[in-house]
């Protein structure tokens, strides 16, 4: 709420961010982060994890979206806050992998939809769901 709030650097904040950065190619749930940190012997309370994730989302450091199957939140690290302006996000429903795609075709589509259909696409909120090549080859159940 208060934009002028000071922000302290803490062990927990760094641990959470590290975990997200090391898994930047996948999306993580809050539970996965809690478990991962516990396994490393650096446990962080789940309340703290949730609070930090929410703050990072607000700061544009993370992408937050709903899991393809269930309804809980997934989080993923973004290289830079402006990241989402330059590319789009594909999520494989088979393996959970997140693919960053900078593709002129998508940008053209965004422009087309805005001009011809009067709809302003939000590339930050829009997630493209589908199936990556290897999951398709494996015939992943969730990909059918």
Partner DNA sequence: TTGCGTGCAAAGGTTTTGCATGGCA
Partner DNA sequence: TGCCATGCAAAACCTTTGCACGCAA
User: Please, are residues 91 and 27 in contact by the beta-carbon 8 Å criterion?
Assistant: yes
Told to check if 50 binds DNA by CB under 7 A, we report yes
Structure tokens at 106: 């998508």
Span between the terminal Cα atoms of the chain, in Å: 43
Near DNA in 72-91, by CB under 7 A: 72-73
Residue 131 interacting entry, from a copy of itself, DNA, none, C-beta within 5 to 8 Å by type: a copy of itself
Told to check if 11 binds DNA by CB under 7 A, we report yes
Q: What is the CA radius of gyration of the chain?
A: 17
Near a copy of itself in 64-103, by CB under 8 A: 65-66, 68, 71-73, 90, 92-93, 99, 101, 103
Q: In sequence order, which residues have a C-beta less than 8 Å from that of residue 7 and are 6 or more positions away?
A: none
- Least distance CB 43 / a copy of itself (angstroms): 25
Query: What is d(CA 20, CA 66) in angstroms, rounded to the nearest whole number?
Result: 17
Dihedrals phi, psi of 100, to nearest 5 degrees: -90, 130
Residue 48 interacting entry, from DNA, a copy of itself, none, C-beta within 5 to 8 Å by type: DNA
Query: What is d(CA 27, CA 11) in angstroms, rounded to the nearest whole number?
Result: 22
Residues making contact with DNA (CB under 7 A): 2, 5-13, 29-31, 43-48, 50-52, 54, 70-73
Binding site for a copy of itself (CB under 8 A): 65-66, 68, 71-73, 90, 92-93, 99, 101, 103, 105-106, 108-109, 112-113, 116-122, 125-133, 136, 143
């Amino acid at each position: 709420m208060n934009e002028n709030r000071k922000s302290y650097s803490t062990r927990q904040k760094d641990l959470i961010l590290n975990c997200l950065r090391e898994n930047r190619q996948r999306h993580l749930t809050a539970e996965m982060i809690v478990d991962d940190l516990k396994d490393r012997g650096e446990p962080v309370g789940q309340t703290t994890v949730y609070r930090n994730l929410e703050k990072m989302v607000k700061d544009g450091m993370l992408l937050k979206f709903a899991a393809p199957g269930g309804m809980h939140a997934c989080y993923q690290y973004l290289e830079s806050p402006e990241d989402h302006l330059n590319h789009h996000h594909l999520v494989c429903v088979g393996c959970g992998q997140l693919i960053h795609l900078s593709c002129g075709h998508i940008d053209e589509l965004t422009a087309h939809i805005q001009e011809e259909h009067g709809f302003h696409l939000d590339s930050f909120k829009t997630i493209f769901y589908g199936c990556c090549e290897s999951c398709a080859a494996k015939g992943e159940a969730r990909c059918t």
